[in-house]
């Protein structure tokens, strides 16, 4: 018999199916965990060791109480990017939430930027979301509901030195977000972008390690120096904070948020 004094566990995404690209680490994994915690079934995508991926699928399945799988598409390949959503639809029969998170970057002055790397960055950061969105929308329209969340960057709203390809790709992703939002404005499908500043991922910690070695300072001091350089708050964003914002965009409260580019940047753009 249920205890009337104990509130039932609320799992508002039970019955929903989510695809999160680049979800085996960092921001994508945090978003996948957050969606699983609310009962969503999950299609993960990203690279990793086979045994670790099996363990990840099992742990997220236990958290969600629903089916979880891993689809190992290389999204820098347009054919694999275009085939990813059809694989999800084949396995789950539907797709309700699409999170385009997979991305990469290259740092160098533009005159030294390898053209091949430019093509790779555009393929993963911008072309792949184009393919996943265009293949997901028909099913979302048929279902009468959907959430598309593009993980852009503060560099999708501002420029940056030695980041020409990354800045261009993320500006393009914000523009794609707005275009799709207008095309779906009369439906229960929304499309929004999250634009984080510096996030405490492996890249951040790797850069801090390099700075610590170069300057002969502690890693903690290096982390603080990097954060303070961009973020007026002096703090980096955690992947879990990005995930919480993604959950909000999936909620009914965010049903009229359309085409927004939400900065989560410690005051970066307020200067």
CA–CA distances in Å: residue 82 to residues 76, 103, 123, 208: 10, 16, 12, 36
Q: How many CB atoms lie within 10 A of CB 245?
A: 19
Instruction: Out of 67, 155, 166, 248, pick the active-site residue.
Output: 166
Separation of alpha carbons 100 and 128, rounded Å: 8
Token pair 């279902």 is at which residue?
Answer: 143
CA–CA distances in Å: residue 258 to residues 156, 164, 173, 193, 263: 17, 27, 14, 9, 15
Q: Of 184, 178, 199, 76, which Cα lies nearest the Cα of 126? A: 76
* 166 is an active site residue: yes
Token pair 């996030």 is at which residue?
Answer: 199
Please list, in sequence order, all residues whose beta carbon lies within 8 angstroms of the beta carbon of residue 126, skipping any fewer than 6 positions away.
Answer: 169, 172, 173, 176
Separation of alpha carbons 66 and 122, rounded Å: 34
Token pair 């072309």 is at which residue?
Answer: 127
Separation of alpha carbons 6 and 236, rounded Å: 37
Task: Give the orientation angle of helix 115-122 with respect to helix 164-183, to 10 degrees.
Answer: 30
Contact in structure between 50 and 101 (CB atoms under 8 Å): no
- What residues act catalytically? 166
């Amino acid at each position: 018999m249920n205890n009337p004094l104990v509130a039932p566990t609320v799992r508002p995404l039970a019955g929903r199916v989510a695809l999160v690209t680049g979800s085996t680490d960092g921001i994508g994994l945090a978003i996948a965990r957050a969606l699983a915690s609310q009962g969503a079934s999950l299609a993960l995508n990203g690279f990793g060791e086979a045994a670790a991926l099996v363990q990840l699928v099992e742990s997220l399945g236990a958290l969600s109480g629903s089916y979880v799988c891993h689809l190992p598409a290389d999204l820098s390949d347009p054919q694999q990017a275009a085939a990813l959503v059809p694989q999800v639809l084949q396995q789950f029969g539907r797709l309700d939430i699409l999170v385009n998170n997979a991305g990469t970057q290259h740092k160098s002055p533009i005159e030294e930027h390898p053209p091949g790397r430019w093509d790779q960055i555009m393929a993963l950061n911008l072309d792949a979301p184009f393919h996943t969105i265009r293949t997901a929308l028909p099913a979302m329209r048929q279902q009468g509901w959907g959430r598309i969340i593009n993980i852009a960057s503060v560099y999708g709203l501002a420029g940056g030195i030695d980041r020409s390809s990354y800045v261009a790709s993320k500006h393009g992703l914000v523009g794609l977000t707005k275009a799709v939002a207008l095309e779906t404005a009369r439906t229960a499908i929304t499309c929004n972008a999250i634009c984080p500043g510096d996030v405490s991922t492996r890249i951040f910690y790797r850069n801090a390690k390099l700075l610590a070695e170069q300057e002969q300072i502690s890693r903690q001091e290096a982390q603080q120096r990097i954060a303070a350089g961009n973020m007026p708050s002096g703090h980096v964003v955690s992947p879990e904070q990005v995930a919480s914002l993604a959950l909000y965009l999936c909620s009914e409260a965010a049903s009229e948020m359309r085409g927004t580019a939400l900065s989560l940047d410690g005051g970066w753009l307020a200067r």
